[in-house]
Amino acid sequence: MSSSSAATAGGRRNLYLPPPCHHLADYRSNAHGLAKPFRSLQPCLRVRPLSRPEIRRDPHEISRCGPCSAADSAGGGMGPRLFACLACAAVCCPAHAPSHADECRPGHEIAVDVDRAELFCCACGDQVYDREFDKAVVLAQIAAAAANASTSCPLPESLGKRRRVDYRPWAPDPQEWAAMRRGSSPLLLPDASDPSSAGTANTSTSSPSSPPWGLRGLNNLGNTCFMNSVLQALLHTPPLRNYFLSDRHNRFVCQQKGRRKKGSSGGSTGGDRRNPSGGSPVCLACDLDAIYSAVFSGDRSPYSPARFLYRWWQYASNLASYEQQDAHEFFISVLDGIHENVEQDRHKPQSQGNGDCCIAHRVFSGVLRSDVTCTICGFTSTTYDPCLDISLDLDSNHNFMNVPTMKSHACNGEKDLILSSQICGVSTLMGCLERFTRPERLDSDQKFFCQHCKVRQESLKQMSIRKLPLVTCFHIKRFEHSSIKRMSRKIDRYLQFPFSLDMAPYLSSSILRSRFGNRIFAFDGDDSDAATELASEFELFAVIAHSGRIEAGHYITYLRLSNQWYKCDDAWIAHVSENIVRDSQAYMLFYVQKTLYYKASEDVSAL
């Protein structure tokens, strides 16, 4: 590809462009810039909601190649790309565009794609970029989307820059070593000079005969497999694990602060969600810290998280029972409990969407973007919502276009071609994400009030991911509840999911780029620099699966530690193959950013 301007584009990010096209530079110098030619094209610019701009003299015009009369895709079928010469407006297909540029040169090398409003050099046979041209096209699209200033939706300040979390390995000093030896069973580091430490060093390998440190069963306390499965995933979430093992939340210090706060306030008044019975305040982060200490103590015998269950019952009293609960509901409740405790301890609580308020949101919080576009005038209403996970529909029988497309995803170093559509009773995670980000027409009873038309209109809604968290949790909707039929059912559809996942196609920047086309003008939401592209690659490290019926099922967790898979079935831990994990009925999938996954794959004893 070529460009008329090199180096950078856009004030918010660095964009490295290919070498400039000398044909475009000659055209600019001979035509006194692109302003005059584009002014002649501006009346021909047609913008449809949630689609790229087109060049048409008439909205219903069907462009055809002059030499061969080939029609574009607007004429039905899959026609070739057509280019209109900026000098003489002659329309040619890719086969005849070079000959037109050669016969009519100089000055006829640059053309515009009539279906995409993108510049093309017929002599070089490649797309070219110009900042002024792209800016004019993008601004025309924005102006066409809404006719007044209220259409602009400024980006929240909290989303201007995503927080970069640096990896800082920790090594204890002599005083910390002494404190650990006095208070707990330390994680022994292998000593090359000590022959007796050879067996200890081997205990931290990832071989099936020697499970990694921190892999410990959890006793079932009576229909608590939902809790055990989520706790196993949280205990081995790399950023969360590093946070608690580095003593960033010390339960003894937190409890002392709670007692001092209680004394300064003159005692408990009762009715506090953190202190419902007038006793010690409920801090789920402290109870989780206690579980981390027990699990990573080196003891392999199953652990009973009875205190955590009791404290969670105090926090979520409406769910306090020995009945089976939903694992996803428990997961959200625990994260909310950690967040609420930190928020009440802060003098100036931060917004939940900021993602920096507590460790739960620093790890799991992302931001979703929702665009609702009026189908009559094109006005777009954009909202940003924080999320702790992404819920995906599994059933493909409703409002799904069965058009199969092939995508290549890396899985453990191998390239697998996976059918992105959902066919033959099989769903794919990529297909679910495509459906999640695909524009959908809202029902007639869901018409939104258009600020431009001043009435309720039919609209299109499109979701995208504005900010990716460090750890992305996908909740698969396997349970359906119908209030009309008064029945519930479980969807047993098989789900294919990759071990390595690229989230770039589902980001807001990618969705907007597909809408605006390939531009070097930085429009709202297009901030995908090199760091963002790197952060879009994720690795699977935990799978929570549900087996059985909806009223009598069982939860288990599969953990990927040091590139080995382990099945955590309450108190039982077993090494399993990848095929066992792939064949499970996944209910929750946990992906961590690839750079953090490789650092998490290091020996835990080196932390």
Alpha helix positions (H), 214-326: 225-235, 238-245, 251-264, 284-295, 306-315
Distance CA 131, CA 30 (A): 18
DSSP string of 492-532, one letter each residue: --EEE--SEEE-GGGBHHHHHHHHH-S-SS--TT----HHH
328 among known catalytic residues? no
The catalytic residue among 22, 104, 254, 554 is 554
Distance CA 77, CA 75 (A): 7
Q: Which two tokens stand for residue 18?
A: 């290919």
Distance CA 313, CA 316 (A): 5
Give residues with Cβ within 8 angstroms of 304, minimum separation 6.
218, 219, 221
Contact present, 337 and 309 (Cβ < 8 Å)? no
Beta strand 456-457 with 448-449 is antiparallel
Give the amino acid at 530.
A
CA R_g for the chain: 29
Alpha helix positions (H), 536-593: 578-582
In the chain, % helix, strand, coil (3-state, to 5) comes to 35, 25, 45
Contact present, 300 and 272 (Cβ < 8 Å)? no
Q: Which two tokens stand for residue 602?
A: 């290091």
Distance CA 187, CA 344 (A): 34
Alpha helix positions (H), 319-393: 327-345, 359-364
25, containing H or E segment? helix 22-30
Q: How many CB atoms lie within 10 A of CB 306?
A: 11
Q: What phi and psi values does residue 470 have, to the nearest 5 degrees?
A: -65, -40
Give residues with Cβ within 8 angstroms of 159, minimum separation 6.
353, 367, 384, 466, 467
Q: How many CB atoms lie within 10 A of CB 57?
A: 13
Distance CA 466, CA 475 (A): 18
Contact present, 294 and 602 (Cβ < 8 Å)? no
475 among known catalytic residues? no
Contact present, 3 and 518 (Cβ < 8 Å)? no
Give residues with Cβ within 8 angstroms of 602, minimum separation 6.
none
Give the amino acid at 299.
D
Q: How many CB atoms lie within 10 A of CB 494?
A: 15
| DSSP letter, residue 548 | E
The catalytic residue among 85, 93, 124, 225 is 225
Q: How many CB atoms lie within 10 A of CB 83?
A: 29
Distance CA 175, CA 129 (A): 61
For the annotated catalytic residues, the residue numbers are 225, 554
